[in-house]
Amino acid sequence: MLDTGPGIEPEKQAELFEPFHQGEAGRKFGGTGLGLAISRRQVELMGDELKVDSALGQGARFYFELAFEPAESAVSTGAQQVSAEPQHLATGHHVSALIVDDVQENRDVLARLLESLGCAVQLARTGEESLEVVEKRKPDIIFMDIRMEGIGGIEATRRIQERFGRGAIKIIAISASVFRHERGEYLAAGFDEFIGKPFRVPEVCACLEKLLNVRFDYATPGEADLTTPDPATLELPADLLEQLRDAARRFSATRLESGLRELEGAGFVALAQHLRRLSDAGQIRSVSEFLEKVKSGAAKAQSIAP
């Protein structure tokens, strides 16, 4: 696991694996400070130790080594499990959504997801800004990040409900922290539902159906969609392909999903579905290997994310 962030000072590296400890970057982008502690414990249970190699200004590398016995039978990938997927709001159904998140990438990913489903989307970077947006144009539903600088999601939700009344605008709590007890706390604080990051299309659509009583058109992938594309015969726009490759190399499910949405928008629907099935089955490494074999074409007009 490799990142290209600011790096970690040697005297602080040992503290990273302590429960509930976060560096400055972790506090900025949210989370609970448990990720590395849990990861180290999982690696220890498998017989090795999670280690870190980092220098200031050069990012950080987290690594471990494991030895496994060869599989005695074929491994089921889960890629053949097919279910109906929501495609678009059904005719006559409309949704106006407000996304409140201080991380631009999170806003962009959820905005593209909702827009691809036919929803009208507004954006706010802070809790304070969300109050201004709601006053000007009241949305049907708000996706509210919990942890933000200034007014946090819980306080912003309280003020909105004081102004319009509880239930007048449905509000969904969004957070990278997905502990079960926290969901109950968010519901008790006034939220109508909770969704964890990274965002999943079925979960988002289920919330919209439940809270707004809207319906979606669903499509079950045909048998032809389940065939494995030949990467050697494919050519993708250069910057889109590099965005996808980079997301897969970094094992970033959120960035990969953003790229797959962009891929679908460019007309490569079957390819995006194939790669998403691999990703959902936990085979992001296979996604990376597949993309390395795809040809790079001319650059497209816009990148996936700023």
Amino acid code (one letter) for 147: R
pTM: 0.54
Alpha-carbon distances, residue 4 vs 54, 75, 100, 212, 255 (angstroms):
10, 33, 27, 41, 15
pLDDT of 204 strictly over 70: yes
The answer as to whether 305 is a domain residue is: no
pLDDT-derived band at 183, boundaries 50, 70, 90: confident
Look up the domain containing 275 and give its range: 227-297
210 & 233 share domain: no
Give the helix, strand, coil percentages of the chain, each rounded to 5. Answer: 45, 15, 40
Give percent of the chain above pLDDT 90.
Answer: 31
Task: Assign residue 33 the CATH number of its domain.
Answer: 3.30.565.10
> For the chain, how many structural domains are there in total?
3
Q: What is the mean pLDDT of residues 136-151?
A: 93
pLDDT-derived band at 34, boundaries 50, 70, 90: low
206 & 235 share domain: no
pLDDT of the residue at 305: 35
Mean pLDDT (the chain) is 80
97 & 43 share domain: no
pLDDT of 71 strictly over 80: no
97 & 207 share domain: yes
pLDDT tens digits, one per residue of 249-299:
988 877 888 888 888 777 788 888 889 888 877 788 889 999 999 998 765
